[in-house]
């Protein structure tokens, strides 16, 4: 691997602390992914991306900036990548998926807060995430109390812009979202020195649409039994979608889908046919949080679909392009895709999510649903009660798990997951 | 005391469980309030209100309904009492201040959630709060994730309407709030069968304005040293403002203020002159949550002002009546009073609250600020970091306390409060 120390140094990375992270990640990745049997060969590309997660991709982002482009970071799928791309920006998800960053986050944030928000803050203030160090702007959004209030502290540490969100899917709520999207456009135009036009926005839409369709195609193959691809590997691909080069990502995901199609055609799978199948829903699962998938898939269960922000919610909904392709109409369509199409627990009520879970469980042949939430994630944990009632009415088995990024509860989780798997087998 | 069992029975109260609450409350009240030395005689009225909290006032609410009026319940000072009064409604705060209701709330809500939200839900589902049983409508509002998501569950249990809130004080945020106020007017008109007019709204504004000014007058007397009134008693008065008959409350508060003025004139106080003075800020302190005030004031400290929703935020800001007194202009003024004037931690950033705390600490001669938050109250707990920095810059001593409604931590809190008091004495 190339030596990136000069690059990291130039970004203000705390090299000594960052080295510890660089030492730990390959071990975790090896145990979780490389030990799997019979992986598709096309996963090699995604292995490489993780091996180079703080290296090659950062080098590319810096080269993009050298050429006059900008890099925008975010923590949420409500930030429209179409607009960022249209203005010659690149949108990257920021570091927030490891316990490594939590203690630093806890120096500024309460301990009783979800690990994702604490890790995000910690990654920045410990200067150990080269994405945070490379971005020209972070676009935050008010989707939960934890992030909303943390932005006000992060604003003292990093260049930050916050999009407001309503809490109810009402016409007034849509009006707020639409105006906030317009305000974001102005802020990004100011940042990039470029102007959003119908032409460049259409190109941005087209590119993001192809990314979404590549993920669609890959996910559709997870409906097969036996599964051509493990849940872990599918999760890894969608996690990588958040920061990889879009064109290369699309090509590699299509190649993986082709290989999986061939597997499906010949009935080749990574788990025995009939392995109990899980739909996972709840809080986002960001790199390198592979904890639940690893536990489930080493317990004779298969994860077949993720109804969350790092799963179907990221790509299922497409932009319906308007008849008239002027800028205002395009922005309207875009706003509707995000506002109407994404069923985040930041909204109350949020029936659309419950409908999606039931629909996806049937489409993917899931035997049971696992609600996976990070501790202190208030929105998802309360919404769980509604989901529990809905799944009981639909006759779909349900398991609730609460966890964080520490390894301490893995044994207990495994016991519960195995017991759930046994009950699914008995009830078939 | 009158026997209200038939009335409670008619309201669907669980009498057996409710009896336990009725037995416990007078003991707690006696220990906290009646043992105080040299209380103003005018506090007798407020003692009576608490003694009759589930009796006489409920009887009055039911009589109001008999006469064709409506009763609206709320959990938040963003619900405009002016509008409710204008439509011949009465607005009452709902039960949410005791551990008594928390276990029932935890049957539907996560344990890692603030005691206030859990108690509110528990009070309803355990059928032990006659206010919940008497209201024609509950008006909820999206000011935190806990309440926002709990509404969706409470809606299955009780008649509920939810006002959305933005999370940022922006022009688009104001537009959302203004529209939501308009939508609330329509819902309340539908409920009451009455129409909001400039005339009845002006009357509602005038009545609420007098209530706010009565509290202003009382609170101003807390600036004196020695204090004419304990912090506990002032807290009790403002808690009672949320559900008492407005006219009677105003008259009794004015009488108490007159008595306190006489005390100030002759230098009579409830604590020795020079007792260290505290400003308390943070989460709302609702009946019968008197825990912190009781601890502080039995530790040779005095609470002189509360910067929270059950303190200054409830009454400090007045409605600036517009030149043109048409309905739309009045609603605009009202919306500005609530949106611009209240600095709730639901907003990010929320600098106005920090400014208020510093200003109030100086106005009331506070020696130190105590940030009092309920466990798992994410918005206030994160905002605390900003407050800590601001107070350090201003040179104002600061103590952070996190608690809930259980008595288990009282000893530990007392030790910390006493130590803070000692440090305030030393630094004078």
Can you give the pLDDT at residue B92? 98
pLDDT in tens, A114-127: 999 999 999 999 99
Q: For residue A167, give the nearest of B110, B165, B378 by CB distance.
A: B165
The ipTM assigned to this model is: 0.96
Assign A1 a pLDDT band (cuts: 50, 70, 90): low
CB contact under 8 A, A349 and B152: yes
Can you give the pLDDT at residue A2? 67
pLDDT in tens, B8-20: 999 999 999 999 9
pLDDT in tens, B191-225: 999 999 999 999 999 999 999 999 999 999 999 99
User: Is a pLDDT exceeding 70 seen at residue A336?
Assistant: yes
Residues of B whose CB is below 8 A from A176 = 166, 172-173, 175-176
Q: Summarize the confidence of residues A308-315 as an average pLDDT.
A: 98
Can you give the pLDDT at residue B2? 67
User: Is a pLDDT exceeding 60 seen at residue B1?
Assistant: no
What span, in angstroms and rounded, lies between the C-alpha atoms of A238 and A249? 10
Residues of A whose CB is below 8 A from B162 = 168, 348
Residues of B whose CB is below 8 A from A144 = 145
A168 at interface of B, judged by CB pairs closer than 8 A: yes
Report H helices in B43-134.
43-51, 56-66, 81-86, 102-105, 115-125, 130-134
CA distance to partner chain A, nearest, from residue B150 (Å): 7
Residues of B whose CB is below 8 A from A375 = 112
A344 at interface of B, judged by CB pairs closer than 8 A: no
What pTM value is reported for the model?
0.97
pLDDT in tens, B147-177: 999 999 999 999 999 999 999 999 999 999 9
Cis peptide before A265 (omega within 30 of 0): no
Beta carbon pairs, A and B, within 8 Å: 134
CB contact under 8 A, B112 and A376: yes
The residues near B256 (Cβ < 8 Å, ≥ 6 apart) are B40, B42, B43, B45, B46, B218, B229, B237
pLDDT in tens, A346-360: 999 999 999 999 999
Q: For residue B149, give the nearest of A164, A348, A376 by CB distance.
A: A348
Q: Which of residues 88-127 of A touch B (CB under 8 A)?
A: 108-110, 112-113
Mean of per-residue pLDDT scores for chain B = 97
pLDDT in tens, A67-80: 999 999 999 999 99
pLDDT in tens, B409-424: 999 999 999 999 999 9
User: Is a pLDDT exceeding 60 seen at residue A380?
Assistant: yes
Can you give the pLDDT at residue A427? 83
Which structure tokens are listed for B64?
């109001």
Q: Summarize the confidence of residues A318-339 as an average pLDDT.
A: 98
User: Is a pLDDT exceeding 80 seen at residue B295?
Assistant: yes
B393 at interface of A, judged by CB pairs closer than 8 A: no
Mean of per-residue pLDDT scores for chain A = 97
């Amino acid at each position: 691997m190339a030596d990136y120390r000069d690059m990291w140094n130039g970004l203000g990375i705390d090299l000594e602390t960052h080295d510890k992270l660089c030492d730990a990640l390959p071990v975790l990745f090896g145990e979780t992914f490389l030990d799997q049997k019979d992986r598709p060969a096309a996963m090699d590309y995604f292995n490489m991306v993780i091996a180079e997660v703080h290296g090659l991709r950062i080098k590319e982002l810096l080269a993009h900036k050298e050429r006059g482009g900008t890099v925008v970071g975010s923590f949420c799928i409500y930030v429209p990548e179409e607009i960022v791309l249209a203005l010659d920006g690149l949108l990257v998800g920021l570091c927030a998926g490891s316990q490594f960053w939590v203690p630093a986050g806890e120096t500024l944030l309460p301990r009783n807060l979800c690990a994702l928000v604490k890790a995000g803050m910690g990654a920045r203030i410990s200067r150990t995430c080269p994405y945070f160090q490379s971005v020209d702007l972070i676009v935050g959004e008010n989707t939960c109390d934890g992030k909303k209030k943390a932005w006000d502290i992060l604003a003292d540490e990093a260049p930050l812009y916050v999009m407001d969100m309503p809490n109810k899917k009402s016409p007034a709520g849509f009006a707020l979202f639409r105006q906030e999207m317009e305000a974001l456009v102005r802020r990004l135009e100011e940042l990039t020195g470029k102007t959003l036009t119908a032409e460049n926005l259409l190109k941005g839409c087209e590119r993001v649409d192809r990314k979404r369709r590549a993920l669609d195609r890959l996910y559709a193959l997870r409906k097969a039994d036996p599964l051509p691809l493990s849940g872990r590997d599918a999760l890894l691909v969608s996690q990588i979608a958040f920061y990889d080069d879009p064109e290369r990502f699309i090509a590699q995901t299509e190649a993986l889908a082709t290989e999986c199609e061939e597997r499906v055609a010949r009935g080749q799978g990574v788990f025995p046919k009939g392995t109990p199948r899980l739909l996972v829903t709840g809080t986002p699962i960001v790199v390198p949080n592979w904890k639940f998938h690893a536990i489930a898939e080493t317990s004779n269960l298969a994860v077949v679909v993720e109804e969350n922000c790092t799963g179907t919610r990221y790509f299922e909904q497409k932009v319906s392009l308007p008849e008239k392709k002027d800028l205002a109409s395009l922005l309207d369509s875009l706003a509707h895709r995000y506002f109407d199409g994404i069923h985040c627990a930041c909204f109350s009520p949020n029936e659309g999510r419950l409908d999606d879970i039931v629909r996806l469980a049937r489409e993917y042949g899931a035997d049971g649903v696992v609600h996976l939430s990070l501790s202190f994630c208030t929105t998802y944990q309360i919404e769980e009660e509604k989901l529990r009632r809905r799944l009981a009415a639909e006759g779909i088995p349900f398991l609730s798990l609460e966890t964080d990024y520490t390894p301490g509860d893995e044994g207990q989780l495994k016991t519960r997951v195995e017991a759930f798997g046994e009950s699914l087998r008995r009830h078939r």
